[in-house]
Structure 1
Amino acid sequence: MLTVIVRSKRDADALRNMIKNYRSDWGIEVETLKGKRGTDVIDAVKELVSDNKFYLVLLGREEADVIKELSDSTPPNVIVHGIRKKRIRNTRLSELNWELEVAKSQPRLWIEWSGDTPFIAKKYVRGEPGTDVFLGWGLWWKTLGLGEPSHKGFLVKKSADGVHTVIAGGRAVALTEITDNRIPQTVLLGEVRGFELKEFANLSRNVIRSFVRGTAKLFEGCEKAIVPWSGGKDSTAALLIAKEYCDEVEAIYVDTGVDMGLNKYYIEKIANEMNVNYEVVRAPVKENIMELGFPSRDNRWCTGLKIKALEDAIKRRGKVKVVVGDRDAESISRSRRWFEREWEGVAEVLAPLKLWSGAMVLAYLLSENVLPNPLYALGFYRLGCYVCPFLRAYERKLLREVRAAKIGADEDLLNQFLGRHEGYDLGM
């Protein structure tokens, strides 16, 4: 699924040593350019790459003069990264581990502009682990104080420190701070001009299709796949890719009894449109709230129930591959997982979306004529349970004020949950 290319054998030895110390469970392949230098590097890389997997080309500062040209002349599944040191082999192992993480995050910042419309296009940038790029539309305009709700989209660069940048026409036009217990605080720096989401998807299609093809090697020999399907954009994209490469695909939706009602509506609708079989399994989260109290960030007892329900459903199916929508941008722990891993005692897990940004995922769905979950248009970033301890203040505000967000909810239970946070959310 991923091959790292370096210039020389000594560079490869250093890289393998880093992998042994920091990424020992990764099935990473290392190739060399047999010591080539200068413009010969470009031809050597082109001879090594194919379109059915991803490649990271790591070069030292000695090759700085060819890095951009190499990036521009290779397809999107080839990520070119220049480290800060002169040579790979002269880099400390901890620094080399970090540079690998930086390189993997590069595609999340591949954004170009056609007038007011952004699109995903390969460009040489220095990645930033912990960042992501996503799109807001619908009630997001109002939530972030950018204007009245609109079907048009806007682009946000999401940072790990909670201060995000709204970008229009390639320029920062707003800064917004999104924290757990406060409504977003936004400072306008310019005019936020919206764009058509479908146009964004159409302009991005070439890179997206290259990323889909880049997952082909991961799925070799995939006869039957199970996709844990939450109704969110990532698991829906994972389902689409699994359908493209696996002989048989089935989805599993875990119903906790406290799921947002629009999730169930969305899954039923999209399953019919995509002709996907899915099973609904029950995790008794709602039934246990009276005894255990609401789940909290320090006591996420609900997660164990959901995993148990999913495990049991997968085990009943025998030998399968489990395809998940994990992305590196979601958390440090996910970025440290390999594209494939063993879910001990359950199945082999494949994660084809690891290198994708949130914007890429949305472009993929729209380019395949799959509408995203309507909860995104209502302003939600996280989809799932309406009593989730990880809902942020603005999402709890939506649950208080937006009728469509409450569809299917036990209103007494929802009110109890919201009441627990009311003082924090209102700044009391």
Structure 2
Amino acid sequence: MFHLIVRARKDAKALQYINERNYGGFLKVSSLGGGRTLGEIEGPLRELLDEPYVPILLLGEAERSLMEEAVPILEEFGRPFYARLLRTKRVRNMRVDELHSNIEEIKARFRLGIEWRDGYALNPENPLGVEVHPDYDIYLAIGEGFRNAMRSILGVELGENPLVLRKLMNLEVYYSGPYKVAEVSKRLGFPTEVLWRIPSSEDVPLERIVELNRDYVEAFAEASRAFLRRFEGHDIVVPWSGGKDSTAALLLAREVFDEVTAVYVRMEYEMPGTDEYVEGLAKKLGVNLIRVDVPMPLERYGMPTHHNRWCTRLKVEALYKAASEFERPLLIVGDRDGESARRRLKPPVLERRNEILGRFLEVMPVKFWSGMMVQLFILMRGIRLHPLYYEGFYRLGCTVCPSLSDWEVRLLKKKGVNELPGEGS
């Protein structure tokens, strides 16, 4: 989670309105007490930087000299931060929607900004110049299987562990070393298409990427743990698909709470390898695992479509029934901003109500993380990702999911899922 820091209390009031309106009040907003000199704000700033949330310092144009003096203090702490001088005289002078847009763009910088240091290092200043957009994501194309799939299916040669910028409409830009080497369209409902490529590749050791980002990712992990500690006293339930995001959410929950229950709703057309991954990792982590098997009667409902995702309803109902066995269930989910605009616009905590559970909370500790941050966090815990990520998958679902792209269908066929329901013989 983020800590928005401004100079004056009136500036903090303007930001708190946005915090309540857009983030449910779950960001932290603080002022430096209105001080106008370094001597007046240094003590309060150092005190605020001792807190675990990731700091964002926002000042107005009239406070330019104060910003120049404050940034070295932020740098001293050696943790991720971002400082921005806004175009208006004071923070509170900026229109609310423009101020919110600035916050969204800065949040995106933390997960998308990259510096090249013989490896990819997360840096919100973004020296590499990766395109920053609130709805974009980045991830690492890890594994020889991923590399082979790109070569055999698309004719694109990549070095080891390239960086992938995932844009809107499943458009992906591949970096090999510090250079863009290909752009690939994986748009739903259309054939996978290589838009351009250049014959250049560079191997980037995964160990190097992990070490470059260890402190950065651990700072975000500590902020997420501090956020989760606000919900002690609940029965902790993690809906777990075996995918990277829900796995990261499970690991964070396990690091905060004494007792954690993971609920694996096993759909009939589950991705290959998921059963083994979930059951093996649950045993390794020592978490309680509830498995609920859900049939998918295609002969009755037909294939799921974007307009009729009856399968999602069955999955959610099964999850809620499992969670209803607990007195005060708190659902810790792996939703992230970079997945879609719809998820980005959710606050990090949702209060829901339904007939099965009544009123309950849904909490998102990795909401502000990138796919790359999630991957590295899991690897830093000595845990391998789901095997399909090493073969070319960005996300996991069912083999009959309407959101499967042509690329994912082709990968499934390479894995031996040769006849997907509804395709014919």
Structure 2 match to 1:222: 232
Q: Deviations over 1:370-410 (max 9, x none)?
A: 0000111121122120000001111111222332xx3xxxx
Give the residue type in structure 1 aligned to 2:302.
G
Determine the C-alpha separation between the residues in 2 that align with 1:149 and 1:122: 26
Q: 1:146, 1:192 within 8 Å by CA — same for their partners in 2?
A: no
- Partner-residue secondary structure (3-state), 2:121: strand
Deviates more, 1:60-69 or 1:155-164: 60-69
Structure 2 match to 1:119: 121
Q: 2:348, 2:365 within 8 Å by CA — same for their partners in 1?
A: yes
CA shift in 2, pair 1:238/1:248, >3 Å: same
Structure 2 match to 1:11: 11
Q: 1:382, 1:391 within 8 Å by CA — same for their partners in 2?
A: no
- Partner-residue secondary structure (3-state), 1:269: helix
- Partner-residue secondary structure (3-state), 2:186: strand
CA shift in 2, pair 1:239/1:107, >3 Å: same
CA shift in 2, pair 1:78/1:171, >3 Å: same
Determine the C-alpha separation between the residues in 2 that align with 1:42 and 1:143: 53
Structure 1 match to 2:162: 154
State which of 272, 287, 292 in structure 2 corresponds to 1:261. Answer: 272
State which of 177, 182, 202 in structure 1 corresponds to 2:185. Answer: 177
Give the residue type in structure 1 aligned to 2:423.
L
Q: Deviations over 1:171-223 (max 9, x none)?
A: 32322233112213142235121322233223211111111111232222535
Determine the C-alpha separation between the residues in 2 that align with 1:169 and 1:108: 18
1:237 pairs with 2:248: yes
State which of 332, 356, 359 in structure 1 corresponds to 2:341. Answer: 332
State which of 386, 407, 424 in structure 2 corresponds to 1:394. Answer: 407
Q: 1:322, 1:349 within 8 Å by CA — same for their partners in 2?
A: yes
- Partner-residue secondary structure (3-state), 2:423: helix
Q: Which ranges in structure 2 are unaligned for 5 or more consecutive residues? A: none
- Partner-residue secondary structure (3-state), 1:231: coil
Structure 2 match to 1:251: 262
Matches within 5 A, 1:264-279: 264-279=275-290
Matches within 5 A, 1:13-412: 13-19=13-19, 22-23=21-22, 25-37=24-36, 39=38, 44-63=44-63, 66=68, 69=72, 72-76=75-79, 78-115=81-118, 117-121=119-123, 123=125, 127-137=132-142, 138-144=144-150, 145=154, 147=156, 152-160=160-168, 162-180=170-188, 181-189=190-198, 191-220=200-229, 222-223=232-233, 224-284=235-295, 286-287=296-297, 289-344=298-353, 345=358, 347-403=360-416, 406=417
CA shift in 2, pair 1:155/1:121, >3 Å: same
Determine the C-alpha separation between the residues in 1 that align with 2:111 and 2:363: 20
Residue-pair matches, total: 407
Determine the C-alpha separation between the residues in 2 that align with 1:155 and 1:87: 38
1:86 positional shift:
3.9
Percentage of matched positions with identical amino acids: 30
Q: Which ranges in structure 1 are unaligned for 5 or more consecutive residues? A: 421-428
Determine the C-alpha separation between the residues in 2 that align with 1:121 and 1:23: 25
Determine the C-alpha separation between the residues in 2 that align with 1:56 and 1:63: 15
- Partner-residue secondary structure (3-state), 1:58: strand
1:358 positional shift:
0.5
CA-atom RMSD in angstroms: 2.7
CA shift in 2, pair 1:71/1:335, >3 Å: farther
Determine the C-alpha separation between the residues in 2 that align with 1:83 and 1:146: 45
CA shift in 2, pair 1:73/1:328, >3 Å: farther
Deviates more, 1:119-128 or 1:368-377: 119-128
Q: 2:169, 2:187 within 8 Å by CA — same for their partners in 1?
A: no
1:71 positional shift:
5.3
- Partner-residue secondary structure (3-state), 1:172: strand
Give the residue type in structure 2 aligned to 1:4.
L
- Partner-residue secondary structure (3-state), 2:350: strand
Determine the C-alpha separation between the residues in 2 that align with 1:350 and 1:32: 27
Q: 2:294, 2:315 within 8 Å by CA — same for their partners in 1?
A: yes
CA shift in 2, pair 1:143/1:45, >3 Å: farther
Deviates more, 1:42-51 or 1:170-179: 42-51
- Partner-residue secondary structure (3-state), 2:181: strand
TM-score by length of 1: 0.86
Deviates more, 1:22-31 or 1:344-353: 22-31
Q: Deviations over 1:100-141 (max 9, x none)?
A: 2112212112423332x2233564679521111101133433
- Partner-residue secondary structure (3-state), 1:391: coil
Determine the C-alpha separation between the residues in 1 that align with 2:85 and 2:77: 15
- Partner-residue secondary structure (3-state), 1:418: coil
Q: 1:107, 1:127 within 8 Å by CA — same for their partners in 2?
A: no
